[in-house]
Amino acid sequence: MNDVSTYDLAERLEENPIIKPGDIPPSSHKMKIECLLNPGVFKFGNKTWLLLRVAERPEQIEGMISFPLYNEEGKIEVLHFHKDDPELDFTDPRVIRYKGQDYLTTLSHFRLVCSDDGKTFHEPKGNTPIFGSNRLEAYGVEDCRVVEMDGTYHLTYTMVSHVGVGVGLMQTKDWKNFERKGMIFPPHNKDCALFSEKINGRYYALHRPSSPQLGGNYIWIAESPDLLHWGNHLCLATTRQGKWDSARLGSGASPIKTEKGWLEIYHGADENHRYCLGALLLDLHDPSVVIARSEHPVMEPLAAYELTGFFGNVIFTNGHLVEGDDLHIYYGASDEVICRADFSIEEILRSLLN
């Protein structure tokens, strides 16, 4: 722990990290899992399930950077770059830039693991991984939110390719058959969390467009009659200079319905790419109205596994379970391992409203 005073409300599991890259096999013998991160979370058949983001690349050779992507035929191709190539910028472990083109250093897909106690997970046989499957997913699929409505699970996730980053929608009832609905929020957009019920007869979503000149990386809200066509976009929360969420923010999992309003746990990062979690409280009947917002993070990188790793100083969540007042947040720590932290919803609300 650090010696700076903190408003951290999280009770981290002693067992953390609960899943590490070595705990599940790679998708092929040619790949190595570098990171397990940012799982979607849901209940199905009395079990707790995580839809893990599995980020892979081949074993790295000294002096080189090698990473996979899907080529035009949808086959995995590995690109190799010499680290001493003056055209190569690899200052960020997550992305490289070569001759004006951006690439990701890993290729992500989704994998299902399940648990009886919410702490010990295994990968059951018979669930096929979800891979990027079209040109808009040539650099993979990432950070999936899962919400269930009337027996259908809705998956909103990041589709990544060289033409941009957008939000895809997939639906399933049985976790075996998936209906891909395509891109619902075009580039640049990510961090899309659907509300778990209609409000005034309409679906609602939080999403995160990025505007490079005017504007920034802000949380927006939109409404839809059918989950496919989105309109009436409004900006809900912007970055705040000098605070923990000064550079970017984005929603976490589906907002939690409470008596006080819709509670949304979101991530905010500063200019040093330090990712913390905070909360927004939205009006129950008109969620475009922000009632309150965290002054301080409700959770910040403090534990060793949150401070160092593939990309250190990162707590990122897009999945949780609610059981009465208990909120179990599953999160990616340092973009490398999966962890869980528990919160009291009451306590988060108190931190917002006092």
> Length of the chain, please?
354
Helix and strand totals (H; E) in the chain = 2, 25
By CB atoms closer than 10 A (0-12, 13-18, 19+), residue 210 is middle
Kindly state the smallest distance separating residue 170's Cβ from ligand MAN, in Å: 18
Contact indicator for 321, 233 with CB cutoff of 8 Å: no
Instruction: Name residues whose C-beta falls within 8 Å of residue 192's C-beta, 6 or more positions apart in sequence.
Output: 145, 156, 167, 184, 185, 205, 206, 207, 208, 251
Alpha-helical runs (H) found in the chain: 304-307, 345-353
Best CA proximity match to 318, nearest among 118, 106, 158: 158
Kindly state the smallest distance separating residue 192's Cβ from ligand MAN, in Å: 13
Best CA proximity match to 107, nearest among 83, 76, 86: 76
In the complex with ligand MAN, the residue whose CB is nearer, 333 or 349, is 333
In the complex with ligand MAN, the residue whose CB is nearer, 36 or 199, is 36
In the complex with ligand MAN, the residue whose CB is nearer, 51 or 349, is 51
In the complex with ligand MAN, the residue whose CB is nearer, 142 or 300, is 142
Kindly state the smallest distance separating residue 269's Cβ from ligand MAN, in Å: 7
Contact indicator for 24, 318 with CB cutoff of 8 Å: no
In the complex with ligand MAN, the residue whose CB is nearer, 47 or 94, is 94
Three-state DSSP string of 316-344? EEEEEEEECCEEEEEEEECCCEEEEEEEE
Instruction: Name residues whose C-beta falls within 8 Å of residue 77's C-beta, 6 or more positions apart in sequence.
Output: 68, 69, 70, 71
Kindly state the smallest distance separating residue 137's Cβ from ligand MAN, in Å: 15
* Number of residue whose CB is nearest ligand MAN: 316
In the complex with ligand MAN, the residue whose CB is nearer, 8 or 143, is 143
Best CA proximity match to 242, nearest among 191, 295, 300, 291: 295
Contact indicator for 215, 208 with CB cutoff of 8 Å: no
In the complex with ligand MAN, the residue whose CB is nearer, 131 or 275, is 275
Kindly state the smallest distance separating residue 11's Cβ from ligand MAN, in Å: 22
User: What are the residues binding ligand MAN (CB under 6 A)?
Assistant: 37-38, 94, 142-143, 275, 311, 314, 316, 332, 335
Main-chain dihedrals φ then ψ at residue 304, nearest 5 degrees: -55, -45
Kindly state the smallest distance separating residue 99's Cβ from ligand MAN, in Å: 23
Kindly state the smallest distance separating residue 213's Cβ from ligand MAN, in Å: 20
In the complex with ligand MAN, the residue whose CB is nearer, 261 or 301, is 301
Kindly state the smallest distance separating residue 153's Cβ from ligand MAN, in Å: 21
Kindly state the smallest distance separating residue 338's Cβ from ligand MAN, in Å: 12
Kindly state the smallest distance separating residue 151's Cβ from ligand MAN, in Å: 29
Contact indicator for 169, 158 with CB cutoff of 8 Å: no
- Sign, CA dihedral 161-166-171-172, equals positive
**Can you read off the two tokens belonging to residue 302?**
């403090």
In the complex with ligand MAN, the residue whose CB is nearer, 278 or 332, is 332
In the complex with ligand MAN, the residue whose CB is nearer, 39 or 261, is 39
Amino acid of residue 231? G
